């Protein structure tokens, strides 16, 4: 699917998430972990986030999550690019900013370009990405169409409102497994069918996009992630 069409579809969902959480944006300094996603290459060679007096480069690859970064003692995520003055001195220019909603411990930020006059060139749209709300072994489905959709996955049927999201646990064993999933409209028409390899350490997001033509199959874009297994608890087992 064309990047512009995808961004046009995904932006309302992300803006809804930001609008919902920004009402409770932090004013005091907090510490969180975050990762970032870009869907296409940005116009900047390298971007940096500010941690105190340091500027730390973000390693980004289109269509993939970045590694997990730490932001300590800040009330907002600030994104910069480097500029060189006529005197050859390096300076940092602010190109994107997002407040940190209250109560967040881990966030996923989607970075997209914008050309609104008077605005920063990058839009940062953040959603809750904690393991509490999106655990290992689960899949998150986001409905980017304008109609309700039914997603059947791992033996569970979920109705997702337009621009809504839901999380479904795959319930696979340690070896993982191929799980079928279907997407239907309100009439029961099959709009998509496929098999997905689920893993206990997988945490993948499925973006459901409108079909290319009226009455056609919906489009799917996958944002994958594999996490390390949780550390095992140490301790003596009681005697039998």
Kindly report the average pLDDT of the chain as a whole number.
88
CATH topology of domain 3-13+29-128: Immunoglobulin-like (2.60.40)
Distance of alpha carbon 203 from alpha carbon 225, whole angstroms:
5
Distance CA 9, CA 7 (A): 5
What per-residue confidence (pLDDT) applies to 10?
Answer: 62
Tell me how far apart the alpha carbons of residues 33 and 67 are, in angstroms, rounded to a whole number: 10
- With vertex at residue 17, the alpha carbon angle to CA 11 and CA 21, rounded to the nearest 5 degrees, is 145
Q: Give the pLDDT confidence of 161-192 residue by residue, as tens digits.
A: 999 999 999 999 999 999 999 999 999 999 99
pLDDT of residue 209: 94
**CA 19, 131, 3: angle at the middle one, nearest 5?**
55
Beta pairing partners, 101: 25
Quick one: which of 87, 69, 89, 65 has its CA closest to 79? 69
Give tens-digit pLDDT for 23-67: 445 567 789 999 999 999 999 999 999 999 999 999 999 999 999
pLDDT at 24: 46
Provide the CATH topology of domain 138-223: Immunoglobulin-like (2.60.40)
Same CATH topology for 3-13+29-128 and 138-223? Answer: yes
- Cα distance between the two ends of the chain: 59
* Structural contact between residues 209 and 220, judged by C-beta atoms closer than 8 angstroms: yes
Specify the pLDDT at position 2: 56
| Residue 71 φ/ψ, nearest 5 degrees | -125, 115
Give the per-residue pLDDT at 20: 38
> Which residues are bridge partners to 128 per DSSP?
107
Q: Say how far apart CA 229 and CA 178 lie, in whole Å.
A: 20
Per-residue pLDDT, 189: 94
Strands 177-184 and 90-99: unpaired
Query: What would the mean pLDDT of 60-79 be, rounded to a whole number?
Result: 95
Supply the pLDDT for residue 19.
39
Q: Are 131 and 106 in contact (CB under 8 A)?
A: yes
Cα 139 to Cα 149: distance, rounded to the nearest angstrom? 16
Helix-then-strand count for the chain, H and E: 1, 16
What are the residue ranges spanned by the domains of the chain?
A: 3-13+29-128, 138-223
The rounded distance, in Å, linking the Cα atoms of 226 and 28 is 32
pLDDT tens-place string over residues 79-121 = 999 998 778 889 999 999 999 988 899 999 999 999 888 899 9
Question: Greatest CA separation found in the chain?
Answer: 76
């Amino acid at each position: 699917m064309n990047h512009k069409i995808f961004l046009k579809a995904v932006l309302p969902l992300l803006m809804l998430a930001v609008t919902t959480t920004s009402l409770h944006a932090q004013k005091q300094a907090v510490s969180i972990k975050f990762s970032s996603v870009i869907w296409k290459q940005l116009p900047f060679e390298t971007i940096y986030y500010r941690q105190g007096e340091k500027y730390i480069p973000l390693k980004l690859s289109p269509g993939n999550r970045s590694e997990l970064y730490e932001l300590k003692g800040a009330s907002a995520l600030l994104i910069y690019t480097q500029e060189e003055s006529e005197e050859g001195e390096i300076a940092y220019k602010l190109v994107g900013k997002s407040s940190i909603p209250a109560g967040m411990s881990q966030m996923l930020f989607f970075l997209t370009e914008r050309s609104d006059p008077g605005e920063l060139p990058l839009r940062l749209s953040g959603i809750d990405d904690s393991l509490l709300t999106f655990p290992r072994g689960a899949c998150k489905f986001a409905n980017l169409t304008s109609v309700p959709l039914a997603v059947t996955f791992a033996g569970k049927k979920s109705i997702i409102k337009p621009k809504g999201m839901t999380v479904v646990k795959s319930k696979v064993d340690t070896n993982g497994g191929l799980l079928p999933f279907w997407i239907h409209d309100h009439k029961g028409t099959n709009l998509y069918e496929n098999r997905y390899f689920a893993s206990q350490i997988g945490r993948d997001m499925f973006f459901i996009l409108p079909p290319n033509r009226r009455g056609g199959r919906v489009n799917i874009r996958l944002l994958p992630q594999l996490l390390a297994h949780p550390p095992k608890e140490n301790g003596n087992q009681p005697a039998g």
